[in-house]
Amino acid sequence: MPPTDPRAGEVFLRAVLEADLPVFYEHQRDPEANRQAAFPARGRAAFMEHWGKIVADEAVVTRTILRGEKVAGNVVCFEQSGRRLVGYWLGREFWGRGIATAALLEFLTEVTERPLHAYVARHNLGSIRVLEKCGFTLSAERSEAVPGAGGAAGAAAAAGDERVDELLYELVS
């Protein structure tokens, strides 16, 4: 039996590379991930344009999440409506293994500004658990009306719903 890489199960963060973007693109195309996030998938051109803006913005902190040598997802911190928000996205094959929690905990040692906030769909129990394990607490709830297109409610609209219920979590220390 060949020896296994002792780092194969470890979670690492590193700078986002252009080569990561096609993997991120495939992750965000997963219909179950879209349902959990209550966020629609973008087409390839729109996705690449969006990520081009993200990595070019010096105010946004972006990291690729690695599980061993494999790109598992990404984690970001950005400002929106006067709040510093964090977000993360993992490929479904990496769900339920503690990877998101380990990655977010590591990210929070790098991004030390507080408070930080994160929106999560009310039905996304896995992501809620990740936030709570990382010290975030529930601070607000909202039910967002479906706009004409896109946004978190866009996926709900595609499913025939009129609103998406979101929770706002906060990390203060």
- Is 163 a member of any domain? yes
- Is 3 a member of any domain? no
Q: Mean pLDDT lowest for which of 61-70, 108-117, 134-143, 154-163?
A: 154-163
Q: Report the domain count for the chain.
A: 1
In the chain, the percentage of residues whose pLDDT exceeds 90 is 83
In the chain, the percentage of residues whose pLDDT exceeds 70 is 86
- Is 158 a member of any domain? yes
The domain spanning residue 24 has which CATH number? 3.40.630.30
- Is 1 a member of any domain? no
For 36-52, how does the pLDDT look when each residue is reduced to its tens digit (9 = 90+)? 999 999 999 999 999 99
pTM of the model as a whole: 0.86
Residue 168 main-chain phi, psi, to 5 deg: -110, 120
- Is 6 a member of any domain? no
Residue 154: count of CB within 10 angstroms of its CB: 19
Domain range for 141 is: 11-171
- Is 90 a member of any domain? yes
CA distance 104 to 41: 23
- Is 4 a member of any domain? no
CA distance 13 to 61: 12
